[in-house]
């Protein structure tokens, strides 16, 4: 297929890898990247280091803007897609612009997940997904001297390290389903708990958070089933859910992500999904898996691009087994250690 | 304290309130103490249709020219604003209506074409204004609210200028505008809390004496009023028409009259008639009209009758480029006319000079009994600058006529060949001082005479008085640190602001470069010009015409060929174009 205009929604590793693969394979294609974040492609895994002051914002960025010019890739930053019509092959933007496509790659990644019982407290909790989130943290950490982390996903561990390095007190409430979609088991939970305590983190065991209230401009009061404490900020770290709400009424099959086959095809012709937003069928497992992780996202982006141009590559990188993260064995294999 | 030098554009379709919004930006920033230079552009033919763009350069230091690039674009119309994208600076910002009434195609969308380095701020102007006031009329004000919030402009400055502008239109209109502004302001402050760029606040500019936004044309109109103008005769033509409109509004209240004549010949004829009778009068025109006036201007020269004629230059010969700027009437102003018909030609270079030179032109015309041509151009006439409201002193306004002594009654020689060439002039009705003002060559007693002696003598007299006029004419102004110079730039008119800026850029790099501003185009101050030229290795004359008309006039004063930098694009010179030329000249000098 010679796709005339390929629109890529997203500007993370999946999207960028897709764009450059498309350019290499289809020199004449018109390629547009659309991203709601107003900044260029950056490495999310460096966000904790940014908070810790170990790297500068400039260190985060992957490609200079000239890269897109040189490769004739139109980069549209700070522009959000709010709807896609597969009947007319149109993407509708928040500012009411309609962009037509011949091929579409959805690579919108994930967004922070807050488990349902905690959703009532959402306003009082910070998360860490974007550079903008990191800046909020950075600013907040200038004023406060303690942080409570609820959850326990992979990013929470590097984040904890960053906060500790700033000399702040860290409390931690480990949550069973932090590794969504993978569940925490007892063994892992106690292992993580131990590691955290070794580092000086106060791990609070509790089943339930009963109350969260803003006590002052820079402190929040927390009441659990066993304890009351006052902290400077609360971070929610329960992994990410695919950022696909805008597709809810589009006709795409969405479960834990956009459902795609092993070739990353959705049910609509010429429409692919890649990266953290995709739920990929794995023929060997005979099941779907939700991808997480940087390198994995890049790989899926590349596969989606090749297949969009007529290739038949399977996204078979698969859950490959146990992975070491920060000395802790985690049963999630797609995470890359940097 | 960080220096601010930011160019803001408002772009929309006619009817979007673009020009009004741009005007408010100028007023508000001026109120805040910034220097402001604004210039609007609209399509050639008629103002009511098509794209409107206002450009405002706002600085913490003095500003004399427009900049090359725009830093903030406020778009009131996506499609129209797409044409402005190539002029955006690398790290610019664009404010646009993020919730238009209808869906937009990619080909119509501004967001589709802005470069990724540009920060996009989608603000639902229409929606916010409508939600706040029930009408979308204030959407341009909602846009300004967003602008103020994002860039650290005190909302109070805007509220004051909005009140000033709309107060007279009734409480309802004022309220719609204020509420729309506030809606945009609060929306942007909240929505973009983590992306604010408070550049204007950071400059910590302190407001000095109150300034007003004045265009070149308004300054000319006001100057004519202050100078005691009695009669304005004119025929509308871009870009001079606003002067007539201004005077039509204000002159009658001062006991004067504005008369629209059948053409420019009649206009200048009536001006000569009025001055002949002792009343201050003027006309303003542009190239095509000026061409028609030529014959009667020479009549003024020959009969030694004062006249004030403003030539607002535009582009090209004939109808040319009616809404573009050029400095290509210098030859026509100085030499245009048969028979050695020299006259006084002065050219202001900024809005303040538009005022002072116009005031002065009446006295000069009276004193030297000759037409005075004030040369402006589209860019100078239409640009607005914030200036402390100029006020002419009593001395500047006094009657410049030299009347004959009573004792000469009965033996009056109207064209007495004095040492200065200026002979006392009587007015009609002065008993015993009647004479025939004639376009024929004449004797001292105003009798027609074509003998070689008389023509030689009287031609000499008419030219001599112009040389005498030099002592009253504005002298060239030198902008230099003294000492020997590698490049000296000479310029005139609206271009001078760009020259000055280019020179400043060069000086910041330690280069030996200076500028000389010439405002008295004819006669010119030969001695002062020569002394500047002597200090310079190269002389560069920069002007908006094809050949270099000032260079043709004064180039011979330099010991070697002067270098010319000319441009006929219809748009003002950019400081960087002049700077590049300086750089090239310096490099050539080194090698
Ligand atoms: C703090 C942190 C630390 C991490 N550390 C590691 C690590 O150590 N190792 C590792 O392997 N992985 C790590 N990750 C995970 C990794 O970064 C992600 O798996 C990866 O970025 C996913 O890539 P993606 O391209 O699928 O999506 P994302 O990188 O999430 O990009 C999604 C893009 O889509 C855009 N978008 C979303 N919705 C829309 C819309 N409606 N319209 C327009 N644009 C839209 C977003 O602006 C964004 O540009 C970390 C993540 C975070 C947040």
Q: Do A98 and B103 touch (CB under 8 A)?
A: yes
Give the model's pLDDT for residue A325. Answer: 45
Contact A180, A239 (CB under 8 A): yes
Q: Which of B104, B105, B195 sits opposite A38 (nearest CB)?
A: B195
Q: Could you tell me which of B170, B283, B161, B273 has the C-alpha nearest to residue B221?
A: B283
Give the model's pLDDT for residue A207. Answer: 77
Q: What is the DSSP string of A11-25?
A: -SHHHHHHHHHHHHH
Q: Is A333 in the pocket of ligand 1 (CB under 6 A)?
A: no
Give the model's pLDDT for residue A191. Answer: 82
Torsion from C-alpha of B68, B74, B76, B77, nearest 10 degrees: 50
174-233 of B, contacting A, C-beta below 8 A? 194-195
Q: Is A44 in the pocket of ligand 1 (CB under 6 A)?
A: yes
Measured in degrees and rounded to the nearest 5, phi and psi for residue A272 equal -125, 155
**Mean pLDDT, chain A, as a whole number?**
88
Give the model's pLDDT for residue A117. Answer: 85
% residues pLDDT > 90 (chain B): 94
What is the distance in A from the centroid of ligand 1 to the CA of B468? Answer: 80
- Within a 13 Å sphere around the CA of A96, how many CA atoms are in the beta-carbon half? 15
Q: Which of A95, A132, A135 sits opposite B111 (nearest CB)?
A: A95
Give the model's pLDDT for residue B46. Answer: 46
Pocket test for ligand 1, best of A10, A128, A317 (most atoms within 8 A of CB): A10
Work out the number of other CB atoms within 10 angstroms of the CB of residue B508.
8
Give the model's pLDDT for residue A255. Answer: 86
CA B105, CA B375: separation in Å to the nearest integer? 47
Domain end residue (candidates: B372, B397, B422): B397
Chain B contacts of A38, Cβ < 8 Å?
119-120, 195
Quick check: B552 contacting A, CB < 8 Å? no
Do both B178 and B230 map to the same domain?
A: no
Task: Indicate the pTM of the whole model.
Answer: 0.91
Give the contacts of B556 (CB within 8 A, at least 6 positions apart).
Answer: none
Tell me the β-bridge partners of B566.
B543
Q: Do B194 and A135 touch (CB under 8 A)?
A: yes
Q: Closest Cα to atom 15, ligand 1: which residue?
A: A293
Domain end residue (candidates: B368, B397, B426): B397
Contact B113, B132 (CB under 8 A): no
- CATH of A5-111+242-335 among 3.40.1800.10, 3.50.50.60, 3.40.50.300, 2.60.40.420: 3.50.50.60
CA A321, CA A316: separation in Å to the nearest integer? 14
pLDDT digits (tens, 9 = 90+) for B124-156: 999 999 999 999 999 999 999 999 999 999 999
Least confident of A220-229, B93-102, B306-315, B539-548: A220-229
Give the model's pLDDT for residue A226. Answer: 83
Do both B386 and B240 map to the same domain?
A: yes
Give the model's pLDDT for residue B224. Answer: 98
Atom index in ligand 1 nearest the CA of residue A109 equals: 27
Please check the confidence at residue B489 and state whether its pLDDT lies above 70: yes
Q: Closest Cα to atom 44, ligand 1: which residue?
A: A35
Confidence of residue B452 (pLDDT cuts 50, 70, 90): very high
Q: Is A338 in the pocket of ligand 1 (CB under 6 A)?
A: yes
Q: Is A276 in the pocket of ligand 1 (CB under 6 A)?
A: yes
Do both B415 and B489 map to the same domain?
A: no
Confidence of residue B251 (pLDDT cuts 50, 70, 90): very high
Please check the confidence at residue B413 and state whether its pLDDT lies above 80: yes
Q: Which of A65, A92, A98 sits opposite B116 (nearest CB)?
A: A65
Least confident of A44-58, A312-326, B116-130, B552-566: A312-326
Give the model's pLDDT for residue A193. Answer: 87
**Average pLDDT rounded to a whole number, residues A262-272:** 96
Chain B contacts of A61, Cβ < 8 Å?
none
CA B424, CA B431: separation in Å to the nearest integer? 15
Please check the confidence at residue B44 and state whether its pLDDT lies above 80: no
A10/chain B closest Cα distance in angstroms: 14
Give the model's pLDDT for residue B323. Answer: 87
Do both B219 and B181 map to the same domain?
A: no
Do both B99 and B143 map to the same domain?
A: yes
Give the model's pLDDT for residue A332. Answer: 44
Beta-strand relationship, B307-313 and B257-260 = unpaired
Give the model's pLDDT for residue B240. Answer: 97
Please check the confidence at residue A242 and state whether its pLDDT lies above 70: yes
Which superfamily is assigned to A114-238 in CATH? FAD/NAD(P)-binding domain (3.50.50.60)
Token pair, residue B64, equals: 């004399």
**Average pLDDT rounded to a whole number, residues B419-439:** 96
Confidence of residue A206 (pLDDT cuts 50, 70, 90): confident
Quick check: B107 contacting A, CB < 8 Å? no
Quick check: B164 contacting A, CB < 8 Å? no
Interface A-B: count of C-beta contacts within 8 A: 57
Q: Which chain A residue lies closest to B102 (C-alpha atoms)?
A: A96
Please check the confidence at residue A221 and state whether its pLDDT lies above 90: yes
Do both B63 and B202 map to the same domain?
A: yes
pLDDT digits (tens, 9 = 90+) for B259-268: 999 999 999 9
Q: What distance, in Å, lies between the first and last C-alpha atoms of chain B?
A: 40
**Average pLDDT rounded to a whole number, residues A216-228:** 90
Give the model's pLDDT for residue A281. Answer: 79
Q: Do B105 and A97 touch (CB under 8 A)?
A: yes
Domain count, chain B: 4
Q: Closest Cα to atom 29, ligand 1: which residue?
A: A12
Chain A contacts of B112, Cβ < 8 Å?
76, 97, 99
Q: Which chain A residue lies closest to B114 (C-alpha atoms)?
A: A76
What is the distance in A from the centroid of ligand 1 to the CA of A110? Answer: 6
Q: Which of A77, A78, A98 sits opposite B106 (nearest CB)?
A: A98
Q: Which chain A residue lies closest to B106 (C-alpha atoms)?
A: A99
% residues pLDDT > 70 (chain B): 98
Token pair, residue B425, equals: 């002039």
Give the model's pLDDT for residue B469. Answer: 98
H or E segment and range at residue A280: strand A278-282
pLDDT digits (tens, 9 = 90+) for B349-404: 999 999 999 999 999 999 999 999 999 999 999 999 999 999 999 999 999 999 99
Quick check: B102 contacting A, CB < 8 Å? yes
Contact A84, A100 (CB under 8 A): no
CATH at residue B583 = 3.40.50.920
Do both B189 and B63 map to the same domain?
A: yes
Contact A172, A204 (CB under 8 A): yes
Give the model's pLDDT for residue B361. Answer: 98
Q: Is A37 in the pocket of ligand 1 (CB under 6 A)?
A: yes
Chain B contacts of A98, Cβ < 8 Å?
103-106
A22/chain B closest Cα distance in angstroms: 20
Work out the number of other CB atoms within 10 angstroms of the CB of residue B580.
13
CA A98, CA A118: separation in Å to the nearest integer? 37
Report how far apart, in Å, the C-alpha atoms of B438 and of each of B276, B344, B369 are: 12, 20, 14
Quick check: B590 contacting A, CB < 8 Å? no
Q: Do A97 and B106 touch (CB under 8 A)?
A: yes
Q: Find the domain containing B166 and state its range.
A: 5-208
Domain end residue (candidates: B474, B497, B514): B474
Q: Which chain A residue lies closest to B101 (C-alpha atoms)?
A: A96
Give the model's pLDDT for residue B591. Answer: 46
Q: Is A232 in the pocket of ligand 1 (CB under 6 A)?
A: no
Q: Closest Cα to atom 26, ligand 1: which residue?
A: A275
Contact B307, B335 (CB under 8 A): no
Do both B365 and B422 map to the same domain?
A: no
Residue B310 three-state SS: strand
Residue B203 three-state SS: coil
**Mean pLDDT, chain B, as a whole number?**
96
Q: Closest Cα to atom 52, ligand 1: which residue?
A: A44
- Can you say whether the dihedral through the CA atoms of A71, A72, A73, A79 is positive or negative? positive
Token pair, residue B412, equals: 């009056």
Q: Do B120 and A97 touch (CB under 8 A)?
A: no
pLDDT digits (tens, 9 = 90+) for B179-222: 999 999 999 999 999 899 999 999 889 888 999 999 999 999 99
Please check the confidence at residue A149 and state whether its pLDDT lies above 50: yes
Please check the confidence at residue A320 and state whether its pLDDT lies above 50: no
What is the distance in A from the centroid of ligand 1 to the CA of A276? Answer: 7
SS3 per-residue string spanning B102-131: CCEEHHHCCCCCCCCCCEEEEECHHHHHHH
CA A44, CA A294: separation in Å to the nearest integer? 9
**Average pLDDT rounded to a whole number, residues B527-554:** 97
Token pair, residue A137, equals: 């943290």
Give the model's pLDDT for residue B590. Answer: 62
Q: Which chain B residue lies closest to A33 (C-alpha atoms)?
A: B116
Q: Which of B108, B111, B194 sits opposite A76 (nearest CB)?
A: B111
Q: Do B100 and A40 touch (CB under 8 A)?
A: no
B151/chain A closest Cα distance in angstroms: 17
Contact B441, B449 (CB under 8 A): yes
Chain A contacts of B119, Cβ < 8 Å?
38, 78
Q: Is A9 in the pocket of ligand 1 (CB under 6 A)?
A: yes
Please check the confidence at residue A16 and state whether its pLDDT lies above 50: yes
- Can you say whether the dihedral through the CA atoms of B56, B60, B62, B64 is positive or negative? negative
**CATH 3.50.50.60-classified regions of chain A:** 5-111+242-335, 114-238
Q: Which chain A residue lies closest to B118 (C-alpha atoms)?
A: A77
């Amino acid at each position: 297929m010679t796709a005339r205009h390929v629109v890529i929604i997203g500007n993370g590793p999946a999207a960028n890898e897709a764009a450059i693969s498309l350019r290499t394979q289809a020199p004449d294609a018109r390629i547009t990247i659309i991203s709601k974040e107003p900044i260029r492609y950056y490495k999310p895994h460096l966000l904790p280091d940014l908070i810790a002051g170990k790297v500068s914002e400039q260190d985060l960025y992957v490609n200079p803007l000239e890269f897109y010019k040189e490769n004739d890739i139109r980069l549209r930053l700070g522009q959000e897609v709010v709807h896609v019509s597969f009947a007319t092959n149109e993407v509708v933007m928040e500012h009411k612009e309609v962009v037509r496509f011949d091929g579409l790659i959805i690579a919108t990644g994930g967004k922070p997940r807050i488990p349902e019982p905690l959703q009532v407290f959402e306003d009082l909790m910070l998360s860490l997904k974007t550079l903008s989130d990191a800046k909020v943290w950075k600013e907040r950490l200038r004023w406060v001297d303690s942080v409570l982390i609820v959850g326990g996903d992979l990013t929470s561990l590097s984040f904890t390290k960053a906060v500790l390095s700033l000399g702040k007190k860290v409390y931690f409430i480990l949550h069973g389903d932090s590794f969504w979609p993978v569940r925490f088991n007892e063994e892992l939970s106690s292992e993580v708990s131990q590691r955290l305590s070794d580092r000086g983190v106060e791990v609070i065991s509790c089943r339930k958070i009963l109350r969260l209230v803003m006590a002052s401009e820079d402190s929040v009061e927390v009441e659990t089933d066993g304890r009351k404490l006052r902290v400077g900020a609360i971070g929610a770290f329960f992994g990410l859910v695919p950022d696909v709400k805008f597709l809810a009424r589009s006709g795409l099959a969405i479960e834990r992500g956009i459902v795609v086959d092993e070739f990353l095809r959705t049910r609509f012709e010429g429409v692919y999904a890649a990266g953290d937003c995709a739920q990929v069928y794995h023929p060997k497992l005979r099941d779907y898996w939700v991808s997480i992780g940087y390198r994995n996202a890049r790989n899926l982006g590349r596969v989606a691009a090749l297949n969009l141009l007529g290739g038949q590559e399977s996204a078979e990188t698969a859950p490959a087994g146990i992975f070491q993260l920060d000395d802790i064995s985690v049963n999630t294999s797609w995470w890359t250690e940097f | 304290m960080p220096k601010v030098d930011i160019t803001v554009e408002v772009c929309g379709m006619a009817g979007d309130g673009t020009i009004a919004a741009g005007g408010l930006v100028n007023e508000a920033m001026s109120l805040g103490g910034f220097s402001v230079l604004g210039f609007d552009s609209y399509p050639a033919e008629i103002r009511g249709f098509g794209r409107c763009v206002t450009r405002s350069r706002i600085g913490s230091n003095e500003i004399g020219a427009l900049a090359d690039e725009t830093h903030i674009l406020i778009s009131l119309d996506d499609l129209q604003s797409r044409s402005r994208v190539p002029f955006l600076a690398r790290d610019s910002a664009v404010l646009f209506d993020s919730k238009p009434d209808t869906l937009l195609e990619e080909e119509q969308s501004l967001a589709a074409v802005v470069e990724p380095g540009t920060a996009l701020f989608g603000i639902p102007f229409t929606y916010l204004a409508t939600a706040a006031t029930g009408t979308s009329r204030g959407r341009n004000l909602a846009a300004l609210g967003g602008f103020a919030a994002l860039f650290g402009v005190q909302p109070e400055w805007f509220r004051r200028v909005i009140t000033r502008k709309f107060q007279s239109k009734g409480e309802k209109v004022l309220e719609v505008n204020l509420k729309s502004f506030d809606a945009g302001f609060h929306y942007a402050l909240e929505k973009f809390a983590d992306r604010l760029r408070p550049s204007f606040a950071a400059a910590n500019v302190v407001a000095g004496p109150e300034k007003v936004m004045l265009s070149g044309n308004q300054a000319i109109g006001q100057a004519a009023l202050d100078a005691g103008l009695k009669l304005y005769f004119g025929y509308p033509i871009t870009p001079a028409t606003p002067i007539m409109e201004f005077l039509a509004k204000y002159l009658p209240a001062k006991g004067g009259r504005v008369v629209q004549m059948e053409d420019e010949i009649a206009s200048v004829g009536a001006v000569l008639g009025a001055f002949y009778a002792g009343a201050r009068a003027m006309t303003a025109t542009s190239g095509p009209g000026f061409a028609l006036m030529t014959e009667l201007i020479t009549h003024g020269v020959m009969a030694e009758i004062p006249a004030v004629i403003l030539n607002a230059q535009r582009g090209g010969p004939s109808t040319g480029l009616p809404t573009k700027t050029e400095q290509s009437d210098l030859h026509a102003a100085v030499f245009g006319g048969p028979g050695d018909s020299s006259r006084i030609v002065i050219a202001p270079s900024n809005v303040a000079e538009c005022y002072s030179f116009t005031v002065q032109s009446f006295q000069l015309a009276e004193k030297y009994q000759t037409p005075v041509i004030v040369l402006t151009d589209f860019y100078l006439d239409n640009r607005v600058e914030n200036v402390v409201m100029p006020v002419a002193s009593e001395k500047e306004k006094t009657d410049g006529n030299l009347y004959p002594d009573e004792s000469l009654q009965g033996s009056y020689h109207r064209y007495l060949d004095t040492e200065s060439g200026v002979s006392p002039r009587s007015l009609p009705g002065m008993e015993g001082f009647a004479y025939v003002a004639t376009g024929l060559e004449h004797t001292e007693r105003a009798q027609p005479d074509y003998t070689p002696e008389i023509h030689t003598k009287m031609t000499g007299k008419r030219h001599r008085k112009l040389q005498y006029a030099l002592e009253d004419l504005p002298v060239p102004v030198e902008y230099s640190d003294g000492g020997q110079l590698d490049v000296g730039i000479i310029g005139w008119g609206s271009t001078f602001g760009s020259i000055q800026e280019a020179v400043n850029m060069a000086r910041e790099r330690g280069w030996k470069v200076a500028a000389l501003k010439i405002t008295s185009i004819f006669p010119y101050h030969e001695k002062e010009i020569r002394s500047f030229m002597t200090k310079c290795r190269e002389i560069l004359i920069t002007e908006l015409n094809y050949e270099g008309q000032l260079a043709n006039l004064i180039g011979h004063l330099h010991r070697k060929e002067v270098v010319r930098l000319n441009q006929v694009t219809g748009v003002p010179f950019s400081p960087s174009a002049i700077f590049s030329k300086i750089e090239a000249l310096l490099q050539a000098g080194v090698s």
